[in-house]
A = this chain, B = another copy of it.
């Protein structure tokens, strides 16, 4: 059983609230979110927080973070519009997606958004045309993504030389060359990944200073991990190490620093409550017990794909022996197996109808849920606590 993920007060609150709710559902605890935000602010006093809305776009989550003073990293004009309907002005947003239609850029600009990520020439030209004068930061590729649970591929970012070229092009086209961004990989457990990335940014800052451009901002993206089953450092350790790396490279004149936390803010505030639908073996003499739940890959737990993320799991049945099982979802899709290589241990006396509680599921669950795969409705969610 996992520890320290949720305060015992929060766990009791969630557990009690969930008792009469139909499964599957996500219970999200706003007081825990506020604690995580306070922790993050303490650990990163040198950084401005832009919450990565995609991690959990629930309106209550967004309003809560807005009231705490967060800014927002958006991935699409749909997220922009949603935030606007919640009263958040475009000035508090950064358009972090490097993949944008011309019409997306034009719309964001009309709404007042003036801070854009980019990583290629055609995007810079679109920005110059449809968002003239805006601040632009270039995303560079980083190495060492092997130590992240979700290594980011080369999908986003460009090589260093091209970043320099793009900044020069941005200036030439009348945009405001503002900074450099990177992302060390989601759920990054090796803090030293930031060291190499910050060093690379310093190098680019210097190259551009020689060309007469003084960049002002470094966007470190996300990557700070949430607590899952695997052990890792606390957010404080990340904050102090990253501050040290910054000082080593920038001395006492650091640039403005932006971070884009997603899962590290919201994951631990969520508990996904599921029910055991069926327990079976495939033959008389099989050692493998299959436990089928009413939630699976397509109902919210798609991050279990590849079994990279292993959520902490709790249950109600006490005492007795346990054994390794295979855990699968409820759909007719054979891919919908949650954990077969990684074996969770569950009580031998586990029964159909018992509940399993998936901790740290506040990120990338509800919004990832499929529309109606196998007819199953999207994951329901409930909010605990007040938004302000």
Of the candidate stretches A108-116, A251-259, A366-374, the one touching chain B is A366-374
Residues of B within 8 A of A281 (CB): 120, 158, 162
Interface pair A294/B101, CB less than 8 Å apart: yes
Q: How far is the CB of A294 from chain B (nearest CB, A)?
A: 7
Most chain B CB within a 10 A radius of its CB, from A290, A328, A334? A334
Q: How far is the CB of A258 from chain B (nearest CB, A)?
A: 15
Find the B residue at minimum CB distance from A297: B302
Decide if A12 is an interface residue (CB 8 Å cutoff).
no
Q: Is A284 an interface residue (CB 8 A)?
A: yes
Q: Is there a chain B Cβ closer than 8 Å to A331's Cβ?
A: yes
* CB-contacts of A139-159 with B (<8 A): 141, 150-159
CA distance A101 to B330 in the complex (A): 10
Tell me if B155 and A290 are in contact (CB < 8 A).
Answer: yes
Other-chain residue from B74, B336, B353, B373 in contact with A375 (beta carbon distance below 8 A): B74
Using Cβ atoms and an 8 Å threshold, which residues of chain B touch A328?
Answer: 99, 155
Q: Does A298 contact B (CB under 8 A)?
A: yes
Q: When chains A and B are docked, how far (Å) is the Cα of A48 from the Cα of B165?
A: 64
| Interface check A20, CB cutoff 8 A | no
A8 to chain B, nearest CB (A): 31
Alpha-carbon distance between A337 and B53 when the two chains are bound, in angstroms: 21
Give the segment of A29-37, A75-83, A194-202, A234-242 that binds chain B: A75-83
With contacts A82-B375, A159-B283, A375-B74 taken as known, whether A369 is within 8 angstroms of B367 at the C-beta atoms is no
- Contact partner of A278 (CB less than 8 A), chosen from B122, B157, B158, B374, is B122
Give the size category of A's interface with B: 35 or more
Q: Is A321 an interface residue, CB under 8 A from the partner?
A: no
Neighbouring B residues of A141 by C-beta, 8 Å: 282
Contact of A374 among B54, B152, B294, B372 (CB under 8 A): B54
Compute how far the CA of A297 lies from the CA of B236 in the bound complex, rounded to whole angstroms: 35
Judge whether A190 is part of the interface by a CB distance below 8 angstroms: no
Contact A162-B75, Cβ < 8 Å, known A337-B155, A371-B369 = no
Task: Find out whether the CB atom of B372 lies under 8 angstroms from the CB atom of A278.
Answer: no
Given the known A-B contacts A78-B375, A152-B334, are A99 and B370 also in contact in the complex, defined by CB atoms under 8 Å?
no
A375 touches B75 (CB 8 A): yes
CB distance from A59 to the nearest CB of B (A): 11
What are the residues of chain B within 8 A of A384 when measuring CB–CB? Answer: none
Residues of the B chain whose Cβ atoms lie less than 8 Å from the Cβ of A278: 98-100, 120, 122-123
Residues in B whose Cβ lies below 8 Å from that of A279: 122
Pick from B74, B156, B159, B282: contact of A158, CB under 8 Å: B282
A-B contact pairs, 6 of them (CB 8 A): A100-B278, A141-B282, A159-B286, A162-B281, A367-B372, A369-B370
Besides A75-B332, A155-B337, A298-B368, 20 more A-B contacts (Cβ < 8 Å) are A80-B375, A99-B278, A100-B278, A101-B275, A102-B353, A119-B280, A121-B280, A122-B279, A123-B278, A123-B280, A155-B334, A156-B332, A159-B282, A159-B283, A186-B334, A305-B305, A367-B373, A369-B370, A370-B370, A371-B378
